[in-house]
Every structure is written in C-alpha cells, then in structure tokens.
Structure 1
C-alpha cells in the first residue's frame, strides 16, 4: 500500500514561543481558566521502564508537552480560536502562515496526547482481534507492517511522527514532519510514534532504530489502536 508523506508544515516553526514549563490542569477545563488543558498521563512516569525511562517521560511530558499547552493558551485569547476545541483549532489554522504558531502548538498538544495513549506498560508484540486482522489485510502480515512502520519512522528526516492511519480501503502508514498531524488532513489516526529526538535521546542517544524496534516490541498499545478503528 502506498505510503504518503505529509510535509506541509515545515514553515512557521519560528513562530513557536519559548516554552513555559510550569504544569497546568488535567483533562477538560483547566482550573486556571485556560481553554486547552494538559491531558493526564495514562500511567505513572516510570511505568514504561526499562524501555522509556521516567527521566525521559518527565522531560517529554512535563516540559515539552506541557510547554505546548501553555503556549497555545497564551496565543489564542482574544482570537476567533479562543473558544474552539483543540481539533477545530488545528483544522481552522492548517496551511495559514499567519497562524503557524497557533497551528504548531495546538497540533503538538494533540500529537503528544495521542502518543502517550499509543503506549502502555506490557504493550507491543503481534496484535490480535480486529486490529490484528486489519493489519494483516492491509499489509499482508504483521511482519510486513512492522518493516514498513520501522522504515517510515526511521527515514523521517529531522523531527516528526510515524502513524498508522485508517483510510477508505483499510490501514496505511504515513509520516508527518514537525507538528503536522493526520487530523489536519481529514485522516483518522490509529497509533503514532514520536521521532523527535527528545522522545528517545536520553535513553537511546542517536540510535533511533533501537527505539523504534523497542517501541513495537514492548510499548505499542494495541487496545487503543483497536478503539480507534471505530
């Protein structure tokens, strides 16, 4: 199956504000009055060890992810986006240079939340159930899927994401650069791996391939993937 690359949001990265790393609220409306809230981690910071360390999760979630949430809440007050949902903000600002900073931060909030949900302690391996059947039907076998997913995640130049997504025919693998996200293009995501360096460098240094292999074998949350099939 043809793999599509969405590299439409390389522009506008300079619009990212400096990250504010203070923690905020949980799911839903923030107690501080901010309209976009930081989703709670679905597990403890050390729950993914030894594959992803508590230190990596602490920096990645507590600083990077939290920073994007703080940034978007600083950018949208007084704009037409102030009362929109996160997904609506992403869809309304995609491809608009004047709103690149809003898009980048909103999309990164969405992508990171989806990434945390795409993992679980004791995950990974060959999936069963509907998701296993869909993967076999779309790629021929789990092994062929794993090879294609590894290639996509490993070949993403610079920062970005590799996704398993749903299309009209079944499932396919795409990769997106920087903050770009499938929902900006009307595509339904199933799982995602983050290949920005901050996702793996403390644990794997420059060995992105080892991180991807470990992610597939020990971390991917196939229960979450199956729910996303609809």
Structure 2
C-alpha cells in the first residue's frame, strides 16, 4: 500500500510539474522588436546614445509588447503583417491603432538614419522630383523642418509619395502614419521624423528645432532612395 501511495504521489507531482512547464512556455509572439542597424552611439553627436537606448529598448519595445498583448482580443493579428495592419487599422480598437502605429513608425525610423557621413544623398531621380515639387532640395528641407517644428504636441512628420505619383509633406498625430486607413492624407512613407518629446528631450530639452536641424545630418538618403524607387516601380 505504501508503494502504491508513493507511486501515486510521484505521478501527481510529475503531472503538476508538466503543467507548470507548459504554462511557463511562452506563446510565440507575432511581432518582435527589430535590432538597431547601428550601435546606440552611432548617430552622435546628432542623437546621443542614452536617448537611442531609451527610445529603442523601452519606448519601441513597449509598443511591441502592447501590440502582442492584443492578439488575445484579435486573433487575426497573429497572421497579419505589420504593414497590412496599418491599412486596416480602423477595424481595431485604439490600443491596436496606437501600438501598431508605434511599432511600424519606429521600425521604419531606425532604418532612415545612418551615422554622420554614411547616409549618402538623394538619387538623381529623387532629387529631380524634389526640385519639381518644392523648387530645390534646400527648399524641401526648409519646408519639412518648418512643418515638423510647428506640429502641435506629439506626432510624426513625413515625406510621402501619394497615389497620384506626387510628393507631399504631411504630419500625423500620436502614432498614426500615412499608410493607415484613418488618416486624411495617405501615401507611401519615404522619410519619417519622430517629433515626440521622448525622441529628443533628454539631449535637447524643449528645443525641437535644434533636434531637427541635427537630425538632417543623419538622414539615410540611401534608404530613402530605395523606398522611392520601390514605390515608383509599383505604379
């Protein structure tokens, strides 16, 4: 009897242990935090290492974690790409909209910057389009800077290619972006600038204009060119 009782206790303990192990196994999260394409200090002096670390490892990670947490409410998210999610964001609640936008925007933002002197310059095709639209590359940068500086509160400034093939500078509040089916001016993002205070306040305090001026030094025009070529090739 004692042996039977002991076997029973062992079996129960094994089942309990298996149950705990199963509960501890993480569910595969459909969205993940991308690694930065450079070191935290690679964009200095324009953007300091501490800001990059906090911005990527805390702020961006929070958007990813919060978005993954919504999969239980919307199982379809698990099989929806991040870009497709932007185009159908009106189907979901505000938490999905904010966190899907935050994840998308930051994932793009990191790729659109490069260390000083490594970002190249606008390609002949893109530069010609900038000149045609804004008069010159310098005039474009001036208008983009003014638009980003004057954006009230938190949000993003964008250079987009509109469905009709024209370029436009636009802004979105919070974590919205031009791919979303809820914004007034839609298009393919070519260039993005985060003007939330968490993107610059640690180093620049309330001097947003200084942050934007420095940011131009680290724009990755090579990636902007690639995006422009891909977007125009689809038309």
The alignment's TM-score, normalised by the length of structure 2, stands at 0.79
Kindly indicate whether the alpha-carbon contact (under 8 Å) linking 1:165 and 1:173 is maintained by their aligned counterparts in 2.
yes
Kindly indicate whether the alpha-carbon contact (under 8 Å) linking 1:126 and 1:142 is maintained by their aligned counterparts in 2.
no
Q: Find 2:128's aligned residue among 123, 127, 133.
A: 133
Higher helix share: 2
1:43-192 equivalences in 2 (<5 Å)? 43-77=38-72, 79=74, 80-94=76-90, 99-123=93-117, 127-167=122-162, 168-185=164-181, 186-192=186-192
The 1-side partners of 2:133 and 2:165 are apart by 8
Moved more, 114-123 or 76-85: 76-85
Match of 1:196 in 2: 196
Q: Which runs of 5+ in 2 are unaligned?
A: 1-25, 231-235
Structure with more contact order per residue of length (Cα contacts < 8 Å, sep ≥ 6): 1
Match of 2:23 in 1: none
CA 1:222–1:115 in 2, change beyond 3 Å: closer, same or farther? Answer: same
Post-superposition Cα deviations, 1:116-157, rounded to whole Å, max 9, x if no partner, equal 111100256863432222211211101210111011100110
The 2-side partners of 1:32 and 1:42 are apart by 27
CA 1:206–1:125 in 2, change beyond 3 Å: closer, same or farther? Answer: farther
Kindly indicate whether the alpha-carbon contact (under 8 Å) linking 1:35 and 1:73 is maintained by their aligned counterparts in 2.
yes
Deviating above 6 A after TM superposition, structure 1's stretches of 4 or more consecutive aligned residues are none
The count of aligned residue pairs is: 197
How far the C-alpha of 1:115 sits from its partner, in A, is 0.9
Q: Which runs of 5+ in 1 are unaligned?
A: 1-30
Kindly indicate whether the alpha-carbon contact (under 8 Å) linking 2:120 and 2:220 is maintained by their aligned counterparts in 1.
no
How far the C-alpha of 1:32 sits from its partner, in A, is 6.3
Match of 2:212 in 1: 212
